[in-house]
Structure 1
Amino acid sequence: MTSIRRYKALFLLPGLLTLVLIIIFPLLFTIRVSFSGWNVASPEMDFIGGANFSRMVHDGRFWSSMLHLLVLAGGTVIIEYVLGFALALAVWREVRARRFLRILFLVPMMTTPVVMAAVWQMMFHQSLGPVNDLLSKVGIGPVEWLTSDRPAYVALMTVEIWQWTPFMMLLLLAGLLSLPREPFMAAAIDGAGPLRTFWRVTFPLLAPVSVTALIIRMIEASKMSDTVYVLTSGGPGSATETPGYYLYIRGLKEQQTGYAGALSLTYLVLMIVGLTIMSALLVRAFRSQEES
């Protein structure tokens, strides 16, 4: 029995070492860095206490980036869920070219975010982009998509929605394909129409998958930085900066490593707390819908 336990420990050892290397050690090192004044002018990792965190409290640009992320991530995930649900329902039914449509809808997700953002940057070009060209045909524009606050928000959300709606559709479609047929047969016998069947049967049964899809997508959206970097570079000014992009500016461009460590730790804690609260609220909301 002892030898079996020993072999179990040996099998677990590679996974534990990997966990230490890629998660625990970087986290501990970041904590150490966050209490230092390490930067390009002071390469020594001298201990300065909580000076970086005190500076962060008064850093309005960081807190503005958190607000930008809340608006961008919250708005895009909600729209992605609605559109993804609609697309999943469309290809779930017996329609022509169903398999082809499933593959076609996944194409945007197959492209890397940087490449997708670069393509959309050209499309949103004020004078040469096809988006303004199409709008001009109906008497709108030209719109300063990447140099005005609100249009820049719309541009960022459009790129994120375009790329990640297929991901939401894929998860919801997998959930739809796994649903039992009996509740739908009972609803048909009771004379329920498509809309009533959706609200009373499909939507409640898909609640666990919906919660999972929303949480996974919110976790991914909370790291939004590559699209911002390519599409707007946080502009105009700092109107579309997200915490990830702001950390890049402080840590890599300005080489304020100690301060960037404090920002990243705060960002991590806020994201864990926020996502935990959001997950609990989602579970409660969908559970009440399922019970009703």
Structure 2
Amino acid sequence: MRSPARRAPRDADSLWRWATLSPALLLMAALGLLPVLNLFVLGFFDVRWTDGGSSWSFVGTRHYAALPGDPLFRASILNTTLFALGAVAGQMLLGFALALLCHKATRGRVFWRAVFVLPVLIPGIVIGAMWKLLLNPEFGAIAQVFEMVELEPVDWLGEASTALLAVIMVDIWHWTPFCFLLFLAGLESLPRDVYEAARVDGARGWQELRYITLPLMWPTIVVTFVFRLVLAFKVFDEVYLLTGGGPGTATEVVAFTIYQRFFTEDRAGYGSAMAVAVIFLIFLMLAAAAAARRRVQS
């Protein structure tokens, strides 16, 4: 057992660390929790703006009870789920494939890294304007390519059947570099001796990928998936700039719906209840991902 004389300095050091870190921790907790608490409380009130001020009237759980019956909210949840799953799946697959190619490249690795990373550096407003022009059915570059091969141009953003798919493809193009960077960092940190031992035993190509690379990369894959899934559920700028939630409710996502409730319809209480419900769903996803990771590790 350690003597009290040795234990005392360590206890004092630990106390000093907590004392010096506590102001920053309290500030971060306040910045993270107070807005959520304010949203939760605001969801129990009906807020109206009159004569330059706000009037609050308590409505209980009416806003929260109305959410399941709101067709626009249900459509936004469905569209957001489809968008998140489709976009993240495409980003993960493309990002991992590009990371493997760049990792195994012997020449021009710096050049290809710079090329693959470029889309994520472009501001969202520029991406929206650029892709809206590219997808224009009359004079867009994609429509011109269709005409060159004698195909009928498609109104990607104006048709309900293709609008969400078009937004998903734009998001894949935009955020695949994020997955690429994380996967490339994970691949370059893998131990080389494991691969050398596997090659001695006769492992090649697909066997290395299946039995060595994927198991060793699994923690990086899970972290990347969770990061991108949470961010995909918060998508707003691409929908706002490309389609404005239309046509109809084809690209209506939860962030855009909440924006409309707050700033277009001036229904802050109902919008707050909607935001709290979305936060709760995201926490459920994070809990499910954590449980899945523990199950895999065990």
TM over 0.5: yes
Mapped partners of 1:203, 1:9: distance in 2: 39
1:19 aligns with 2:21: no
What are the ranges of 5 or more consecutive residues in structure 2 without an aligned counterpart?
Answer: 1-7
Mapped partners of 1:20, 1:74: distance in 2: 30
CA contact (8 A) 1:123 1:131 kept: yes
Map 1:39-78 to 2 at 5 A.
39-40=48-49, 43-78=54-89
Instruction: Supply the AA of the counterpart residue of 2:153.
Output: P
- The counterpart of 1:30, out of the listed 39, 47, 51, is 39
Identity score, percent: 32
Map 1:96-107 to 2 at 5 A.
96-107=107-118
CA contact (8 A) 1:207 1:287 kept: no
SS at 1:150 equivalent: coil
- Cα 1:191–1:12 change in 2 (3 A) is same
The alpha-carbon deviation at position 158 of structure 1 amounts to 1.1
Mapped partners of 1:148, 1:223: distance in 2: 23
- Cα 1:175–1:5 change in 2 (3 A) is closer
Greater Cα offset, 107-116 or 222-231? 107-116
Mapped partners of 1:51, 1:266: distance in 2: 14
The alpha-carbon deviation at position 282 of structure 1 amounts to 5.6
- The counterpart of 2:214, out of the listed 194, 200, 203, is 203
CA contact (8 A) 1:52 1:258 kept: yes
- Cα 1:9–1:188 change in 2 (3 A) is closer
What is the RMSD of the two structures over their aligned residues, measured on CA atoms? 2.0
Partner residue, 1:150: 161
Partner residue, 2:265: 254
- The counterpart of 1:189, out of the listed 188, 200, 209, is 200
The alpha-carbon deviation at position 19 of structure 1 amounts to 2.0
1:112 aligns with 2:108: no
Map 1:232-247 to 2 at 5 A.
232-247=243-258
Instruction: Supply the AA of the counterpart residue of 2:32.
Output: I
Mapped partners of 1:185, 1:7: distance in 2: 47
- The counterpart of 1:94, out of the listed 91, 100, 105, is 105
Task: Judging by fraction of residues, say which structure has more strand.
Answer: 2
SS at 2:92 equivalent: helix
Greater Cα offset, 84-93 or 18-27? 18-27
Instruction: Supply the AA of the counterpart residue of 2:130.
Output: V
SS at 1:234 equivalent: coil
What are the ranges of 5 or more consecutive residues in structure 1 without an aligned counterpart?
Answer: none
The alpha-carbon deviation at position 150 of structure 1 amounts to 2.4
Which protein shows a greater Rg? Answer: 2
Partner residue, 1:164: 175
> Residues 212-271 of structure 1: CA distance to partner in whole angstroms, max 9, x if unpaired?
111111111110111100011000011111100000001111110000011000111011
SS at 1:43 equivalent: strand
> Residues 63-118 of structure 1: CA distance to partner in whole angstroms, max 9, x if unpaired?
11011011111011111111111100111013321111011100001112232122
CA contact (8 A) 2:49 2:55 kept: no
Partner residue, 1:228: 239
1:83 aligns with 2:72: no
- The counterpart of 2:186, out of the listed 163, 175, 189, is 175
Q: TM-score, normalised by structure 1?
A: 0.92
1:136 aligns with 2:141: no
The alpha-carbon deviation at position 133 of structure 1 amounts to 0.9
Partner residue, 2:132: 121
The alpha-carbon deviation at position 55 of structure 1 amounts to 1.9
SS at 1:45 equivalent: strand
Instruction: Supply the AA of the counterpart residue of 1:39.
Output: R
- Cα 1:5–1:196 change in 2 (3 A) is closer
Q: TM-score, normalised by structure 2?
A: 0.90
The alpha-carbon deviation at position 135 of structure 1 amounts to 1.7
- Cα 1:8–1:98 change in 2 (3 A) is closer
